[in-house]
Amino acid sequence: MKFVLRLYAVAHVFMALLFAGAGLMLVVSAARAGWQASMGQWGHAASEAMVEAVGVLAAAVVAMQISQTITEEEVIRDAHISAPTRVRRFLSRFMVVIVVAIAVEALVTTFKARSEPQLMLHAAALVASVGLLLAGWGLFIRLNRYAEELEPEAMAEAKREDRKLK
């Protein structure tokens, strides 16, 4: 059984490396797009290109954060997501990344909607989805807190696992 668990750890390391590689390629792509936008005529098109580059950077942050989360939770800590504390912490890290990415995409789409008004409905839907995600996440944290109170030993174990990262 330990062999199978090691295979999972290797698979997680491979996935984390793929996410990190994709994140770095997105950073380079965003830097290149931003550089090209700044070297051209400064105006509405350049501003739009810079906002697009920011959107690509947000995607890079998502990829890098997922890579870091996988590495910390599945490889370093070797944590099994079962205790309420661990679930809340894992999902919270993931939700921060997703909410920020969608919010940045909403900003990019809103900026584009200045020249393409038909995109305003799409931008509004993105902003609404950010609000719904935040509300749902808040409710989850609130309800999960009660579950954590029933299992204080899980919180203590999670804190002990955190020492592996220091």
The 10s digit of each residue's pLDDT in 45-79 is 788 788 888 888 888 988 898 898 888 877 776 65
d(CA 56, CA 156): 38
Report CA Rg, the chain.
Answer: 20
Contact, 112 vs 80, CB < 8 A?
Answer: no
Question: Taking phi first (over 0 means left), then psi (-120 to 50 degrees means alpha), and beta for anything else, what does residue 80 get?
Answer: beta
Tell me the two tokens of residue 66: 């997922």
- Report the pLDDT value the prediction gives residue 17, as an integer from 0 to 100: 94
The confidence score (pLDDT) of residue 126 equals 94
Domain of 103 in residue numbering reads as: 2-165
Rounded Cα distance between 160 and 55, Å, is: 37
HSE-up of 42 (CA within 13 Å, CB side)?
A: 1
The Cα 14–Cα 4 span in angstroms is 15
In three-state secondary structure terms, 115 is coil
Whether pTM > 0.75 for this model: the answer is no
d(CA 40, CA 32): 13
Q: How many domains does the chain have?
A: 1
CA 34 to CA 144: how far, in whole Å? 42
Tokens of 87: 């679930």
Q: 1 vs 130, which has greater pLDDT?
A: 130
pLDDT of residue 15 exceeding 90, the answer is: yes
The proportion of the chain whose per-residue pLDDT surpasses 90, expressed as a percent, equals: 25
List the end-to-end C-alpha distance of the chain, in Å, as a whole number.
29
pLDDT of residue 8: 84
